[in-house]
Chains A and B, each alone.
Chain A
Amino acid sequence: MRITGKALGSLAMGLCAWGLALHGKTVQAGELGAWRINGFLENDTRVRQDVGLSKERNTLRLEADREFDDLGAFTGNSLTLKLRGTYDGVYDLNSKEYGRDAGGPICLEDTSGLIPAGCVAHGRGAFGGNNLQYGVFNGVPGAGLGQFGFNLANNPNDGMIVLGEPLHRPGGGVAFGVPVRPCDVDSRGCLGGYMDGSENDLRFPEFADADRLDWLREAYFDSSLLFSSPLNGEEQELFFRVGKQQVIWGRTDLFRVLDVINPVDYSRNNIYDELQDIRIPMWIATAEYRMGPVAALQDLNWQVVWNFDKFRPNSLGQCGTANVILDAGCFFRGMKNLWDNGGTVSNFALVPPILGQPGMAMTTDFGPNQVGIREVKLPNWTLSNTQIGTKFEGVLGDVSFSLNGLLYRSQLPSLHGGSEGPPAISPFANLLLPVDLQLPELLPGVGQYNTVPRQVPYLIAFDIAFPRVKMLGGSLDFTIAPIKTVARIEAAMTWGEQFPNTLRPSLYSESRVARYVVGLDRLTFIPFLNADRTFLFSLQIFGQHLLDHELEQGRLGQVGMPDWKDNWTATLFMQTWYLQDRLQPKLVMARDWKAGAYAMQPSVDYLLSQNLKLSIGANVKFGDGAQKFNDCRDCNPYPPFTAYASSGGPLLEAGPIGLTGFEPLGRFRQGPLGSSDKEDEVFINLGYQFF
């Protein structure tokens, strides 16, 4: 582990400051006129295996609320403000891993057998004209072959890592360089409006987007209108909450089955922070008709939620930062760079069988606008792009329930490629002559000889979209008295979600998705461990079923959708309390069934004083690690040049035959746990309430 001297100095200074705080006087919630105010400071320091300091996050939170007199018939009027500002010092203290000095030159694996070293530097791939070791596959020295090759001046071999690091080596699959420095230092691969944070944006994330006002985390106004029911004369209530807020649906911890109204910021601490800290508040209006008891129902409420904010996707983490869930941010950045500037892709072009074994592939230099990600299509603000939902929630006998419906945009990106992707330039254009002859399409595989961009079925050239989704679901909880256990059940069905699918010419397809969680909570005495206090055991099993799943066995392996048709993730949370609840040991365990991935997070919270809380712990992942899936190198978008005929693939027909690699689709099999398999870390968190 590497921790810089600067980091240690900072940590020591921080501890001194906390030492002062420890001996400070007890602080209660403050009053400022009619306002009730709380202020909090938090330091979160994390050290990651083989990386060193991965997080030095310092957060200031101010929360204020006040009540107002009744306004006519409106009662219970109040205004709540929650402000948050963060400075993450890791970009200054460990800039070699995260920041302006991150990354470096890379060498990309080559299994062609033509390269003795087994890897070539970025920009020295086959067909690019810059590597004579490839012989005839080098193309014209300095010019390459056809439209292959790219200008290293625009895409230098520096400030990069190899896609997939440190989870796996390419393993004979595809890989390419990914720029990792902040976007003001290195703009390559940055996706405007989505993953384009400058160094300061990463240091101070709440101030990264001036339009979004993320530092104003929540600001909402509450009001109630009391009236007599037209049906029975009983008092009923219309409750309104308007402003920037989080709207929480469902009864599940960690998993988001119904709790999908607000997007989530996974860049803060992957999936491991409390959702309240990582939900991204949105400008939302909610109205609740609180009917109270109705017929056999002890309580019935009808809520309408209108998310009128401009669409915002989940924050998946920018490549070059500590938390890049599924490593998606790195894949996107690498692909965007490939599109914009061209680049070198590991193990891509097959070595003709006459020269090598089937499957041996040359690391290949692509030119700009040939493969990759062109742009992210974030929905604009229009009335039709706002999101609306409704919920009935009530109590019937001993069961609490909700029925939920939501029309929204997927907060996860969908990659539209191939036949629905961006028009791309064929690398095979002008293959024989360095001029565009504008020849008619002479051969099967149409249009491969001119430089007119066009959409090419099965081509790995994408735009990022966020499709519209419909969701219907519900939840309930009840007590199972004989075993003193509370059961929670939550389920939802969605229509419109999109998934990668190598069977489709557009490389994606829609699937209806059923998700469900069964949770069991039980307080249990274990007298020999804690005589006075119970242990909380909370078990959850999350299941996901893709109803329109497509998966076929190809000649070389499975093709279709990498997501599992059925998968389950189980979590077990255990906690107990000692010393008047000042000492709280906790253990979270999780297993992703199909991925064979596990995570464990033991931690201990200790209240050093009324206002100062210390948490220490570790986050450890283990299991099967990286997974492989069909990577579409075999999709043959430009037949016959890209055919995998030597492996039995069709010469003139596009479509995959099942060649696999870790990248890019293995991430959907390994899931968030498996994708962060190499991100074991220890952490220390100090929270101080100063007001």
Chain B
Amino acid sequence: MKRITRSVLAMLAGTLFTAPALAQGADDVINQSFYPYKAGAPTAAGVNVGVLIDKNNADQFKAVLDPVTYDLLKKGVQPSIKVGPTDSFDVHPKYVEATRQNIGKVKIVGGNLEGYSAGRPFPELPSSSDADAGRKLAFNFRHTFSAGDNVQIKPFYWKYRNAATGKVDRTVEFQFNFLNFKHRVAEQPIPAVSPNPNDYFRGIYGKAFSPQDVQDTQLMILGFDQDQKASDGYLYLGFQRRVRRLETSQTTDAFLGSDLMIQDFEGYFGRVAEMNWKFKGTKTLLMPLYRHNEQKLSDEYKQPDGYKFVAMTGKGECFPDVTWQLRQVHELEMTPVDKSSPVGRRVMYLDSQTFVAPRTLIYDRAGKLWKSWTIGHTSTEHHLPSNKGKFAAIYDSFGMFDVQNQRCTTGQFRTEIDGSKSPVRMFNPQFMRSGGA
């Protein structure tokens, strides 16, 4: 009996050691991960809906601001932040269910996920005592549902601005499409595009329509399911009319002259393996998450269906003019594995409910702040009618502020989760050769 008891205890201990999530309880895990505000929205002293935070009162709210936002507010570069209500950005129930089915089954083996099928790979709350917590969060971010199973961003206006003078140097019109080849949960084909001999996980396709020097440029990056494997990349240059293969480890060039690098797309567009990840703690901070339909929107670029884009504000109109809300976020510090990278480190704030990255701070190799990266997100439930019921925190606006060079690039766009607009046939080089989208 004693022997049996010891065995059972040992098994239990082993189980507890290897699968803490099971010990925690699947429901608890799911609730903590996907419904953190079920018991109530986070609060902070004085941070009430409608409050305007600017250089005069920023000190009062320093605890709920990331350090760069605080600094920009203090200097008046970013004139103010208006506090909005904290919403629960409910994630698609099928993604949640896939997460539930996966709990405790996923491991990182050799830098790749093992045992992963769909949903959030590591839904458990991160722990500072877990040396791999940073990497787990990185994989959660990699497999976020922010763009659904597929999404189209069109039209997509990027403005290259001189922050000092406010002059718009260039306006580039793009279209971007994203497609998950695998781990799909909401839209057919589920769970994966098949056949997929190269075992791609995700594809991104982009095309520039104007101005003349970048017209018809197309970019496609196809990431493999195995994170350790470098992505395939293709570039179509309009003036050459040929598809060129891209070497994808080089993602730190300014993309078509903007202040964004390919690495900045979606918050961080690179492989987990390309960074060293460190979990710095979970905090409650103001983040640019909002209800699109309730924002002060721009009258620029009129659309046939009346859709309006987010307006810009602040120095050089470098910042999305949106409300920010209190969110529970995980702070991640990333340092490039490649020492020749011009990036010294990145600090990314991941929204714990959706695992989108509304704020990223980018430092140069000397450790000086280089760029402040803001991606505004809205829930699909407060956006286009066609997005309703898609339950994703979609990209809705952006502002990349180059602190050192006093420049910025802003993005105004329309995001639509619709599988028919990002078909699989779009994600191969032949599509680009024939002129693309």
Contacts and interface: CB of A to CB of B under 8 A. Distances in A.
B256 interface: yes
Interface string B151-166: 0000000001000000
A27 B171 CA distance: 9
B250 interface: yes
Given A485-B247, A610-B169, A296 B197 contact: yes
Contacts of B271: none
Contact of A580 (B169, B230, B245, B433): B169
B212 A274 contact: no
B429 A577 contact: no
B160 A486 contact: no
A26 B168 contact: yes
Interface stretch (B51-59, B235-243, B310-318): B235-243
A232 B195 contact: yes
B199 to A, nearest CB: 9
Given A486-B245, A607-B213, A241 B434 contact: yes
B170 interface: yes
B434 A486 contact: no
Contact of B230 (A295, A479, A534): A479
Interface in A24-44: 26-29, 36, 38, 40
B340 interface: yes
A488 interface: yes
Contacts of A400: 243, 245, 429
B240 A580 contact: no
A221 to B, nearest CB: 12
A235 B254 contact: no
B197 A295 contact: yes
Interface string B410-428: 0000000000000111001
Contacts of A26: 168, 171
A582 interface: yes
A232 B215 CA distance: 37
B369 interface: no
B386 interface: no
Contacts of B212: 38, 40, 611, 613, 687, 689
Nearest to B252: A534
A275 B242 CA distance: 11
Given A478-B245, A525-B340, A484 B250 contact: yes
B198 interface: yes
B257 A581 contact: yes
Nearest to A299: B428
A611 B213 CA distance: 9
Nearest to A579: B257
Given A398-B232, A525-B342, A580-B258, A248 B242 contact: yes
Nearest to B199: A298
A251 interface: yes
A299 B429 contact: yes
B330 to A, nearest CB: 29
Interface in B134-183: 160, 168-171, 173
A521 interface: yes
A582 B245 contact: no
B197 A297 contact: yes
Interface in A475-534: 477-479, 481, 484-486, 488, 521-523, 525, 531-534
B275 interface: no
Interface string B182-198: 00000000000011111
B403 interface: no
A479 B254 contact: no
A288 interface: yes
A657 to B, nearest CB: 48
B245 A274 contact: no
Nearest to A259: B242
Nearest to B231: A479
A397 interface: yes
B431 to A, nearest CB: 8
Contacts of B340: 525
A580 B169 CA distance: 9
Contacts, number: 147
A290 interface: yes
B254 A234 contact: no
A301 B430 contact: yes
A36 B155 CA distance: 14
B247 A484 contact: yes
Contact of A29 (B173, B253, B256, B259): B173
B64 to A, nearest CB: 33
Contact of A533 (B210, B253, B407): B253
Nearest to B232: A398
Contacts of A534: 250, 253
B296 interface: no
B246 interface: yes
A246 interface: yes
B198 A523 contact: no
A479 B244 contact: no
A294 B194 CA distance: 10
B263 to A, nearest CB: 13
A613 B213 contact: yes
Contacts of B240: 253, 274-276
Contacts of B428: 290, 292, 298-299, 395
A488 to B, nearest CB: 7
A250 B425 CA distance: 21
A478 B248 CA distance: 12
Nearest to B340: A525
A323 to B, nearest CB: 20
Given A276-B239, A485-B247, A582 B257 contact: yes
Nearest to B198: A298
B211 interface: yes
A395 B234 CA distance: 12
B230 A481 contact: yes
B95 interface: no
B170 A580 contact: yes
Interface in B211-232: 211-213, 215, 230, 232
B210 A38 contact: yes
Nearest to B222: A298
A28 B257 CA distance: 17
B196 A248 contact: no
Contacts of A250: 242
A273 to B, nearest CB: 10
Contacts of B168: 26, 610
B241 A246 contact: yes
B249 interface: yes
B204 to A, nearest CB: 16
Contacts of A232: 195
Given A239-B434, A610-B171, A580 B257 contact: yes
B254 A580 contact: yes
Interface string A438-481: 00000000000000000000000000000000000000011101
A577 B170 contact: no
Interface string B103-143: 00000000000000000000000000000000000000000
A611 B209 CA distance: 13
A290 B427 CA distance: 12
A406 B113 CA distance: 47
B187 to A, nearest CB: 15
Given A248-B241, A481-B249, A577 B173 contact: no
A580 B259 contact: yes
14 contacts: A248-B241, A248-B242, A251-B244, A290-B425, A293-B197, A397-B198, A478-B245, A522-B247, A523-B253, A531-B342, A532-B254, A577-B257, A581-B257, A689-B211
Interface of A: 26-29, 36, 38, 40, 80, 222, 232, 234-235, 237, 239, 241, 246, 248, 250-251, 253, 274-276, 288, 290, 292-299, 301, 393, 395, 397-398, 400, 477-479, 481, 484-486, 488, 521-523, 525, 531-534, 577, 580-582, 605, 607, 610-611, 613, 687, 689
Interface of B: 160, 168-171, 173, 194-198, 200, 209-213, 215, 230, 232, 239-250, 253-254, 256-259, 340, 342, 407, 423-425, 428-430, 433-435
